Structure 1
Amino acid sequence: MNRHLRRVAALVLATLLAVMTLPAGAAHASPAVQYTNPLAAQRADPHIFRHTDGYYYFTATVPEYDRIVLRRATTIQGLASAPETVIWRKHATGEMGAHIWAPEIHFINGRWYVYFAAGRADDVWRIRMYVLENSSANPLTGTWTERGRITTPWDTFSLDATTFVANGVRYLLWAQQEPGIATNSNLYIARMGANPWTITGPTTRLTVPTLAWETRGYKVAEGPSVLQRNGRLFLTYSASATDANYCLGLLTASASADPLQASAWTKSPNPVFASSAATSQYGPGHNSFTVSEDGQSDILVYHDRNYRDISGDPLNDPNRRTRVQKIYWRADGTPDFGIPVPDGATPVRLMSYDMPVSAIRHYDFRARLEANVTPLADSQFRMTTGLSGSGTVSLESTNFPGYYLRHRSYEAWVERRDGTSLFNADAGFHRRAGLSGSGTVSFESVNFPGYFLRHRAGQVWLEQNDGTSAFRGSASFLLE
C-alpha cells in the first residue's frame, strides 16, 4: 500500500473509531451560532449575564475609568445597538474615586449585584474591590446602593471579583497582590458569607504567575471566570501585561472536589487563548462566559485590540473591544477556545451528516474530513457572500483569511483568492437544503450545476449527485 493510500486508510479508521467511541447523545454537536465582531467598541473587561427574564445584561470597563454602564437586549447581538445606561459614577473624593475597573453583574437571592474595582481619588493605584446592590427587577432602573468594600486578609491591591456556585456553595474569586510574593497579582478563592459582599472562612491561593507567558511585562494572574461542564470546573484567568502579551490561562478541577483546596486545581502549561497575527487580534483576555440564545452553545466573551503596537501605557489606549465567539468541546470533555476569530461574522464548522464529529478541515491546503481536528481553526470557515455573485456563498478560512474553499480538478482545496473570475466561480456555491433532509445543508457548485461538495475516503471532492443515499449522506453537513 503506497503512502497516500495508507494515509487515507488511517483517516477513515480514525473517523470510524471516533464515531464508535462517542458518548450517548453526542452524535451531533450543538448548532451554529453566529455573531458579528466586535460587539462593542471601547469596552474592556466585558461581562455578559443571561437572566431568567429573557434578557442578556452587559457591562464593561469604559476607557475613561469613571463610571459603570449597563445595557440589555434579548439577544447577544442586540447588545451591540442596545442603549447604554450609566448606573453609577465615581466619587469626587476618597474611596471609589478613580480607576473604576472590570464591573460584573450578578443576580443573587433576588437582587442584583455589581462587583467592581476602584482606586482612591487621592491615590488612584490603591485599587480595592467594591459591591453595589439593586433590588429592582430591571437593574437599569431603581436605586444602586453601595455595599462597600470586600474585606480580604490583606489591605493590598485587589481586583476582578467574581462569584459562582458549586455543589450548593457560593464562592468568591478574585485577584490580589499578597505580601511577601513578588507578583502583581495572584488568584484567590473563599466562601461567601452572610451576604454577597462578605467572605468567610479560609482564603486559598489558587495560582501564582510563574510561567513565561504569565509574566511578560508584568507578573499577572487576574480576571478569573468559571465555566462548569462535563463534571469539571474550568477557571480561566488573564496573564501578563494588557498589551499583545495578554492571554488566557486555565485551571481545571473536578466538580466533586473542594474548590478551596489548591491541590484540586491543575494549571494548563500553555495559554489556552492568545494573540493571533493571522486574524489581526491581539491581547485577548479578561473574559466571561454566557450561553447562546437557544441554550445549546457556550459563548466566550472577551476583549482585544485589532493592532499589536501601542504607544505608551496600554491602559491609556482606549481601543479594547468586546468580542464573542463560540466555545467548542473536545472528545475528552475539555474546552477548545481556538483562536480569536477575525472581525466580522463568526465562523462555522461543516460537520459531516453521515460521519458525526467529523468536520471539513484543511491540511496542507487540501480539504479533508477528520474527527477531533487540531488546531480547531483549521475546521472553521466564515460563510460570506459568494465571490461569484449575489445569491451564492463562499467559505473563507478562519486562520488563513483571504483563502477560500474551492474546487480544482474536482478536488477541494483551500487557496488564496487570486481575483480571477475562474477562482471566484470555483469558490462559489449555492447553499441548498441538505440532500439528507431537515437540519442539514449541501453546497452545489456554481459553475458545475448538479455537482456538490462531498467527502469520500477521508477527502473532500466536487462530484455529481448520483441520487444514492450514500452520496446524499456524504454531501450533507450540519453547521456547528
Structure 2
Amino acid sequence: MAATAVLLTTAAGVLVGPAAPAQAAAVTFTNPLAEQRADPHIHRHTDGYYYFTATVPEYDRIVLRRATTLQGLATAPERVIWRRHSSGEMGAHIWAPEIHFIDGRWYVYFAAGRTDDIWAIRPYVLESSAANPLDGPWVERGQLQPARNSFSLDATTFMHQGQRYLAWAEYAGSNSNIYLARAVNPWTYAGTPTFIATPTYPWETRGYRVNEGPAVLIRNGRVFMTYSASATDASYAVGLLTAAAGSDLLNPASWSKRATPVLASDSRTGQYGPGHNSFTVAEDGSDVIVYHSRNYERYLGNGYDPLSDPNRRTRVQRVYWNADGTPNFGVPVPDGLTPVRLRAHDLPDRYLRHWEFRVRLEPNVTNLADSQFRIVAGLSNSSAISLESTNYPGYFLRHRNHQVWVERNDGSNLFRQDATFTRRAGLADAAKVSLESVNFPGQYVRHRDGLLYLEAVPDAAGRASATFALD
C-alpha cells in the first residue's frame, strides 16, 4: 500500500514530509530536555510514565516531574517533593538525586551537606509508598548505612542476578573513588565496600582527581558502569568500567577500565563537560543515555567556579552498540533534534557514513558520529528534508556530479537544491525510507559498490539499494 503523502511536524517544529509510514522513523528527541538541571536521572516505570529528577542550581530541594514520553518531560509540570533542612544535616548542597522503584516503594538517593559544614557531604535516602511519587509523602531514611565517615556522594543502586547492589563515590586522600557493596535493603549495605575505580588517566585528573557518578547498564553478558571524571567544567567527561556478567562484582579484578573517555567535550557540536549520566529506555525499546552539559566553554583559571554556574542542561541521546557488544555513545550531539543513522535495506549490517567527506556504506562504524545525520527542513524547500552531519554541523548530505558527499553549505542555490530531498516511503519496503532528489526528480540516493550515488533505480535491485531504515 502506498504511503500517504502528508507533512509531519517533528518535536522541533520542523516539517519533514512527504513522509514514510510512522514506523520508519527512529525515536528522536529535542535537546536540551531541561535547562538548569544537572546530574539528571530518569526512571521508566511500569505505570507508563517516565520520572525525572535532577540537581537544581540553588542546591536546596528535590524536584520531580513525569510524562508518558521522554520528550514530554521537557514541558511536564515540576513538583518539589522535599526541601533541605533549615539546620543540621541534610541542610546544604542537595545534589544528584536519583529515583528508583524497589519492592513496591519509591526511593530517592541524594547527597547533602550540613548547615554547620556544607562540605560534610554524605549520601541520604528518602522513601515513599505512594502510587504517584509526585504526591508523596516521603519518609527520611537518613544516611546510607553503615554511615560513611568521609565526603561521599552519588549513590545509585542496581539489581544483578538476584542481588541488589549499592554504588557510590567517596574521597580518600586526594582522590574521589568508586565503591560497590551488596545491599541489605535500599538504604543499608553489608560488609566492607569494594573499591573498584580510582582516577589514574590524565583525562580523569583535570582540575581534580575524580571518579564519581556511577551508572549501570547491563547488556550482552556484561555489566557496564559509566562514571564521570575531572572537574565539573569543560574537563568533565564520562568513562567506562566493564565486568563480565558472571564475575564476582565485589572483586576489583573483575572490573576493567577503558583508557579513554566514552563521552567528552566537543567544540564542533558545541557541548562541553558532558557527565553525571543515567540510563533509561526509549519508547521504542532503544537504550538512552541521560546526561548534562553546557553549551559554552569556561575556564577555572579565569576565576570561574563551575559549581556556581547554573547552566548545566539535561540532554538525552540514543546509545548504539558495537559489533563486539560494547556501548557506543558517540559525541554529545548538537542542540536541537537528535540525529538518526541510515541503515541499508539490502545490507542491514551497513550504514551510511562519511569518510574524507565522501559518503559510503560500511559495517561496524565505531566512529559513530560519522554515521549520524540530523533530519531538518529542506534547505531549498521546507516541505522536503535535508540531512545535516552530526560531527560537522553546517555540513549536509548533497549530490555532486551524481556522487554523494557531505559538504559545507556554501549558501548557493545550487548547494541548497543538491542537499534537499523528498522523503519517500521506501521503494523496496514502505516501512522504510528512500531519498528522492528535488532537482533531479526520479533519481534517488542509492549505494553501489560501497559508495553512494544519485541515480535512477528502475529494477528491484536498484530499489533495494535506495531503501534505508532509520535507526
TM-score (norm 1): 0.92
Q: Does 1:267 align with 2:243?
A: no
Q: Does 1:408 align with 2:397?
A: no
**Offset of residue 202 of structure 1:** 2.7
Distance 1:31 1:284 in 2: 27
**Offset of residue 154 of structure 1:** 4.4
Distance 2:307 2:320 in 1: 31
Match of 1:288 among 260, 278, 282: 278
Supply the AA of the counterpart residue of 2:45: H
Output one character per residue of 1:22-73: Cα deviation in whole Å (capped at 9) or x when no partner. Answer: xxxxxxxx97220000000000000000000000000000000000000000
Supply the AA of the counterpart residue of 1:479: L
Moved over 6 A (4+): none
Which residue of structure 2 aligns with residue 278 of structure 1? 268
Match of 1:226 among 199, 202, 216: 216
Which residue of structure 1 aligns with residue 234 of structure 2? 244
Matches within 5 A, 1:164-203: 164-178=158-172, 181-183=173-175, 185-193=176-184, 195-203=185-193
Conserved in 1, the CA contact under 8 Å of 2:263 and 2:274? Answer: yes
Higher RCO (Cα < 8 Å, 6 or more apart): 2
Distance 2:136 2:448 in 1: 61
Distance 1:426 1:438 in 2: 24
Distance 2:113 2:54 in 1: 17
Match of 1:51 among 42, 45, 58: 45
Which residue of structure 2 aligns with residue 478 of structure 1? 469
Q: Which moved more, 1:325-334 or 1:372-381?
A: 372-381
Match of 2:427 among 422, 435, 438: 435
Distance 2:247 2:159 in 1: 13
**Offset of residue 357 of structure 1:** 1.6
Matches within 5 A, 1:69-218: 69-152=63-146, 154-178=148-172, 181-183=173-175, 185-193=176-184, 195-218=185-208
Supply the AA of the counterpart residue of 1:190: A
Identity %: 66
Conserved in 1, the CA contact under 8 Å of 2:322 and 2:366? Answer: no
Cα 1:31–1:451 shift into 2, 3 Å: closer
**Offset of residue 146 of structure 1:** 0.4
**Offset of residue 469 of structure 1:** 1.1
Match of 2:305 among 294, 313, 320: 313
Which residue of structure 2 aligns with residue 377 of structure 1? 369
Which residue of structure 2 aligns with residue 26 of structure 1? none
Which residue of structure 1 aligns with residue 33 of structure 2? 39
Conserved in 1, the CA contact under 8 Å of 2:298 and 2:304? Answer: no
**Offset of residue 465 of structure 1:** 2.2
Which residue of structure 2 aligns with residue 452 of structure 1? 444
Distance 1:215 1:188 in 2: 18
Distance 2:209 2:382 in 1: 51
Aligned residues: 445
Supply the AA of the counterpart residue of 1:474: S
Which residue of structure 1 aligns with residue 9 of structure 2? none
CA-atom RMSD in angstroms: 1.1
Supply the AA of the counterpart residue of 1:200: A
Supply the AA of the counterpart residue of 1:320: R
Which residue of structure 2 aligns with residue 368 of structure 1? 360
Supply the AA of the counterpart residue of 2:34: A
Distance 2:33 2:319 in 1: 17
**Offset of residue 117 of structure 1:** 0.1
Match of 1:299 among 288, 294, 310: 288
Matches within 5 A, 1:415-434: 415-434=407-426
Distance 2:57 2:50 in 1: 22
Output one character per residue of 1:455-480: Cα deviation in whole Å (capped at 9) or x when no partner. Answer: 001100000121x1110110000000
SS at match of 1:339: coil
Output one character per residue of 1:85-130: Cα deviation in whole Å (capped at 9) or x when no partner. Answer: 0000000100000000000000001000000000001110000010
TM-score (norm 2): 0.93
Output one character per residue of 1:233-268: Cα deviation in whole Å (capped at 9) or x when no partner. Answer: 000000000000000010000111111111001100
**Offset of residue 160 of structure 1:** 0.2
SS at match of 1:123: coil
Distance 1:328 1:163 in 2: 23
Distance 2:237 2:288 in 1: 17
**Offset of residue 153 of structure 1:** 6.8
Match of 2:57 among 63, 67, 86: 63
Which residue of structure 2 aligns with residue 16 of structure 1? none
Cα 1:103–1:154 shift into 2, 3 Å: closer
**Offset of residue 294 of structure 1:** 2.2
Where does structure 1 lack aligned partners over 5 or more consecutive residues?
1-29
Which residue of structure 1 aligns with residue 460 of structure 2? 469
Supply the AA of the counterpart residue of 1:189: L
Which residue of structure 1 aligns with residue 340 of structure 2? 348
Distance 1:50 1:280 in 2: 29
Conserved in 1, the CA contact under 8 Å of 2:122 and 2:148? Answer: no
Supply the AA of the counterpart residue of 2:227: Y
Supply the AA of the counterpart residue of 1:84: E
